[in-house]
DNA sequence: AGATGCACCTGTATGC
DNA sequence: TGCATACAGGTGCATC
């Protein structure tokens, strides 16, 4: 479910609820979602610690604790982090519960159980969560046309796969890749080797633009996504391509098509986004 | 290197 | 209604 805008919205909504709070204890209802260290140690290490601040890297949420440790969360498809009063009934699929010092709980739930949590200790090298393999943040000053061209132009892949590669751009996923390609009028199957300087420039501009717009609308709720307070995102009506099969292109009126590219459902306008 | 398929899971929508 | 199948904001691995 969540791509960069959704994770960023979770971060923003949880920040006032968690900053300065103390984690009293941690309960692993389904220990296997705690990927590192093993559940027992994870719970012991997180317990009795203050939360300093929340960060984000790509699609990872970072909960920074006193003493230099961090809880790292990846929501994958259906993961949710919700802050809620401890007296409220637990919803099904609640897998990890962080009890806080103010009668609230931070609850991790995940219907499909693809998501994972890690705890990085102070001084520990994080070679387990996947963060070490990420490329640039789209809002990094070094994220520009040259960066994209240098990373990608020699590869024999199409632009959809390229933009989904987290080691190139951290945080783009299936929805926003389709939105970016629509904005810059590139067909998802276009080989990256074909792209010209102006294409790289357009991509470098469109990626942060598309993501910022989605963040401004608190992310996209297509199915499952909820922010840290349990609210849906409001960006869906603004999507131009994703999920609009058979609906008219807002530029030319042609029907939006869907096809599988890189194993993912991909939506595009067959007139505006020529395969060539 | 890259393409493909599958695995991880459950819920929901669709078609017959 | 019931049952089978497809599909879902992600990632990692195995195989050709």
Residue A16 corresponds to which tokens in the numbers above?
């006032």
Residue range A167-209, pLDDT digits in tens: 999 999 999 999 999 999 999 999 999 999 999 999 999 999 9
Q: What average pLDDT does this structure show over A66-84?
A: 97
Q: Is the pLDDT of residue A123 over 80?
A: yes
Q: Which nucleotides in chain C have some atom under 7 angstroms from a protein Cβ?
A: 7-12
Long-range contacts of A177-181 (CB under 8 A, 24+ apart): A178/A241, A178/A242, A178/A266, A178/A267, A178/A268, A179/A210, A179/A239, A179/A240, A179/A241, A179/A242, A180/A206, A180/A207, A180/A210, A181/A241, A181/A268, A181/A273
Q: CA A114, C1' B14: Å apart?
A: 25
Provide the annotated active-site residues of A: 2-3, 59, 264
Q: Are strands A257-261 and A94-100 parallel, antiparallel or unpaired?
A: unpaired
Residue range A28-62, pLDDT digits in tens: 999 999 999 999 999 999 999 999 999 999 999 99
The count of other CB atoms within 10 Å of the CB of residue A38 is: 12
Q: CA A111, C1' B9: Å apart?
A: 8
d(CA A234, CA A221): 7
pTM: 0.97
Distances (CA, A) of A139 to A53, A58, A104, A143: 20, 11, 33, 7
DSSP single-letter state for residue A248: B
- The residue count of chain A comes to 276
**Residue A39 CA to its chain's centroid (Å):** 24
Contact A131, A35 (CB under 8 A): no
Q: What average pLDDT does this structure show over A5-17?
A: 98
Q: Is the CB of A79 under 7 A from strand C?
A: no
Confidence band (pLDDT; 50, 70, 90) for A275?
Answer: confident
Q: Is the CB of A169 under 7 A from strand C?
A: no
Contact A109, A115 (CB under 8 A): no
* Chain A window 161-180, residues with Cβ within 7 A of nucleic strand B: 161
Residue range A80-108, pLDDT digits in tens: 999 999 999 999 999 999 999 999 999 99
Q: CA A11, C1' B6: Å apart?
A: 33
Distances (CA, A) of A108 to A26, A94, A117, A177: 11, 6, 9, 27
Confidence band (pLDDT; 50, 70, 90) for A222?
Answer: very high
Instruction: Point out the nucleotide closest to A111 (alpha carbon to C1′).
Output: B10
Residue A208 corresponds to which tokens in the numbers above?
């942060």
Which protein residue has its CA closest to C1' of B3? Answer: A262
d(CA A61, CA A106): 13
Contact A203, A148 (CB under 8 A): yes
Contact A3, A59 (CB under 8 A): yes
Q: CA A90, C1' C6: Å apart?
A: 31
Instruction: Point out the nucleotide closest to A92 (alpha carbon to C1′).
Output: B10
Confidence band (pLDDT; 50, 70, 90) for A276?
Answer: confident
Residue range A18-34, pLDDT digits in tens: 999 999 999 999 999 99
Which protein residue has its CA closest to C1' of B11? Answer: A111
Q: Is the pLDDT of residue A150 over 70?
A: yes
Q: Is the pLDDT of residue A1 over 80?
A: no
Is A244 exposed, middle or buried, given 0-12, 13-18 or 19+ CB atoms closer than 10 A? buried
């Amino acid at each position: 479910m969540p791509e960069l805008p959704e994770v960023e919205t979770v971060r923003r909504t949880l920040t006032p609820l968690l900053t300065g709070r103390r984690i009293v204890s941690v309960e692993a209802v389904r220990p296997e979602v705690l990927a590192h260290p093993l559940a027992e140690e994870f719970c012991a290490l997180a317990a009795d610690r203050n939360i300093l601040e929340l960060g984000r890297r790509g699609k990872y949420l970072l909960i920074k604790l006193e003493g230099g440790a961090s809880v790292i969360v990846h929501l994958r498809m259906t993961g949710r982090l919700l802050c809620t009063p401890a007296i409220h009934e637990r919803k099904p699929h609640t897998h990890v519960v962080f009890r806080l010092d103010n009668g609230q709980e931070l609850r991790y739930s995940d219907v499909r159980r693809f998501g994972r949590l890690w705890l990085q200790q102070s001084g520990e090298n994080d070679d387990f969560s996947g963060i070490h393999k990420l490329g640039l943040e789209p809002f990094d000053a070094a994220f520009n046309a040259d960066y994209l061209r240098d990373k990608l132009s020699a590869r024999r892949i199409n632009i959809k796969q390229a933009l989904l590669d987290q080691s190139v751009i951290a945080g783009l996923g299936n929805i926003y890749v389709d939105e970016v390609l629509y904005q810059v009028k590139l067909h998802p199957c276009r080989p990256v080797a074909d792209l010209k300087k102006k294409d790289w420039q357009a991509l470098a501009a469109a990626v942060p633009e598309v993501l910022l717009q989605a963040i401004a609308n608190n992310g996209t709720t297509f199915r499952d996504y909820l922010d840290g307070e349990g609210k849906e995102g409001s960006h869906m009506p603004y999507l131009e391509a994703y999920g609009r099969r058979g609906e008219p292109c807002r530029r030319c009126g042609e029907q939006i098509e869907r096809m599988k590219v890189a194993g993912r459902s991909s939506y595009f306008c067959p007139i505006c986004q020529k395969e060539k």
